[in-house]
Structure 1
Amino acid sequence: MATLHRPPVPALRALVDSIWAHDPSPGAPSLPGAREHVLPTGATHIALRIDGPPLHIFKHADDLHGQGLGHAVVGGARTVYHLRDVSQPSASVGAMLRPGAARVLLGVPESALAGQHTPLDQLLPVGEVEALSERLRSCRDGAGRLAVFEHWLLVRAQGRPVALHPALVQVLRRPGHPEQRAADLVRASGLSHRHCIALFRQATGLAPHDWLALQRFNQVLALAARPMETWSGIAAATGYADQAHLANSFRDITGMTPGVWRRQADPATPRHVPLAPQVLRP
């Protein structure tokens, strides 16, 4: 298995945080019933599968049927995990967007995409997704697909600069303090409470409170990837009242305890946590 993950070219960095391409190992076997927990980033994502079955997701472990989504989707900003079918190996490419980028690249604000997966072809002109998919399928490897996908993003962005409200630019770039509150963001923006919340939701898909909670969760994951860090130390460093407070929040966001995450997650892909294959009842 090979995964390429990098920042985009400079011309895209105001809109795109990172891009990636995944190639399964040659001859990788099918794993009937296999799923993985996909943990939230707080950002909007674009993802295209090049081969294999369409993307299929589940709300939780007891969801036996799930939802089929197609091969090209936009994942809106989420506050909690979902599960993804990984029973069939497949190649894919994708991007994690910055706040405000969805309106530029896809024509809709992040608030219209949040908390759900939307087929990409519902947001773009007829035939554009199929044409992109054909170009991606013609590539020999992940590096080639990543170049094609990045070029498509550049074409979509051409002449369409990101247009975040200046007050939001300052707020979103401020380094997050573990004990920062939504009221602090509103105060720093200089806007009225109602105006700030509305603009923030349009740009990120989340309310400031939820966005801050995910920024803190991101800090937790970064520290937890270091085996020497204790959960009590991580709780203290990230502003939780104690280890129990951290554990409860972690379980709400990820659907698993911190200990299970640490045993099952690969530090290289901490937001994609494999689960044992499920035996699904009819």
Structure 2
Amino acid sequence: MLDRPRPGRDFTVTQVGEMWRLSRPQHPGLAQYLHERAAYVGAPGAGYTVRLVPTGQVTVVVNLGAPYARVARIGARTSDSGPIGSLVSGLDDGPGVCEHPGGQESIRMQLTPLGAYRLFAMPQSELANTSLELRDVLGPEADELAERAAATTSWSRRFDLIDAALLARIHGGPEPDPKVVYAWRSVTTRPGAVSIARIAEEVGWSRRHLARRFTQQVGLTPKTMERVARFQQAVAMLSRPGADLAEISAACGFYDQAHLSLDFRDLAGASPRWCASAAWAVEDAIYLA
């Protein structure tokens, strides 16, 4: 096992499986765009395979160590990334798998979809359900950022470099449409409470126009984004002791327990009961296969 990294004055170190997780508070200028940002350090040979489930977030990894062996969508023949280093994974509406051979050293960011829209200045629909090399989206500056971060052994300095790069690009990126922002917040904070037709009426668009603009700037349709948000609510409730599927189904707005099970099969590739007994890493929005 790799020696525990020494905690810094501005970050903490915790153990996640056979890796160390380094984290520090968010930069206030990134709070509305960045869900979480943390570094992961693993020993050579300490490889792993994890199943990925939809999180409603866009993942960006600046890789400083060994590349991932593959990141793939389960059941999709064309989504396998093959070996991949620094990467971006767009929003998903189904399960995936991630394999790493060990020797991981990386900084991973979970961005809100609208934060990713500003960061990448491109339609988020082009990133949905896929994983790409970060340089293919950001260009040479992605490699330059990884090289600068790898050139220092100071994790505080590495976090500073990442934050500065994010701040520069996000604040110079395109502003999401306020109506899309309203719709995104509606379907993610209260999934199922208000119909998509009602949200479209509230913003003054047709449902078709809302779906088109929303998918361009968020990555998924409003209905699919709502489904992912409802699934995540159920995931959080499942992690609590004594979780009851009937109560979770009612609280999260599923028609019944069968409806909940169907969504878990589609989105996680497993039953709620299996997920409840599996090794979840809830704070990282992944669970172990």
Q: For this structure pair, what is the TM-score category when the shorter chain's length is used for normalisation?
A: 0.7 to 0.9
Tell me, which stretches of 5 or more residues in structure 2 are unaligned? Answer: 1-18
Deviation above 6 Å: which 4+ runs of structure 1?
none
Q: 1:253 to 1:269 in 2, by over 3 A?
A: same
Look up the match of 2:21: 3
Are 2:42 and 1:30 equivalent residues in the alignment?
Answer: no
Q: List per-residue Cα deviations over 1:201-259 (Å, max 9, x = no partner).
A: 11110111101001101111111111222112111111112222211211211111112
Shift of 1:141: 5.4
Look up the match of 1:19: 37
> Partner amino acid for 1:86?
H
Q: Which residue of 245, 255, 262 maps to 2:269?
A: 255
Give, in whole Å, the separation in 2 of the partners of 1:256 and 1:2.
28
Give, in whole Å, the separation in 2 of the partners of 1:192 and 1:70.
40
> Partner amino acid for 2:30?
L
TM-score by length of 2: 0.82
Q: 1:190 to 1:6 in 2, by over 3 A?
A: farther
Q: List per-residue Cα deviations over 1:31-85 (Å, max 9, x = no partner).
A: 4xx421011112322112210133512333898x943152111111110110011
Which fold has the larger relative contact order, with Cα–Cα distance below 8 Å and residues 6 or more apart in sequence?
A: 1
> Partner amino acid for 2:196?
A
Tell me, which stretches of 5 or more residues in structure 1 are unaligned? Answer: 276-282
CA contact (8 A) 2:52 2:97 kept: yes
Q: Which residue of 161, 164, 176 maps to 1:151?
A: 164
> Number of aligned pairs?
268
Q: Which residue of 89, 103, 108 maps to 1:75?
A: 89
TM-score by length of 1: 0.84
Q: Secondary structure at the match of 1:68?
A: coil
Percent identity between matched residues is 25
Give, in whole Å, the separation in 2 of the partners of 1:233 and 1:72.
41
Look up the match of 1:140: 153
Shift of 1:177: 4.0
Give, in whole Å, the separation in 2 of the partners of 1:66 and 1:56.
7
Are 2:70 and 1:56 equivalent residues in the alignment?
Answer: yes
Are 2:264 and 1:246 equivalent residues in the alignment?
Answer: no
Give, in whole Å, the separation in 1 of the partners of 2:263 and 2:219.
20
Range that drifts further, 105-114 or 53-62: 53-62
Give the 5 Å matches for 1:213-232. 213-232=227-246
> Partner amino acid for 1:140?
T
Look up the match of 1:169: 181
Q: Secondary structure at the match of 1:2?
A: strand
Q: 1:154 to 1:270 in 2, by over 3 A?
A: closer
Shift of 1:165: 1.6
Give, in whole Å, the separation in 1 of the partners of 2:277 and 2:259.
20
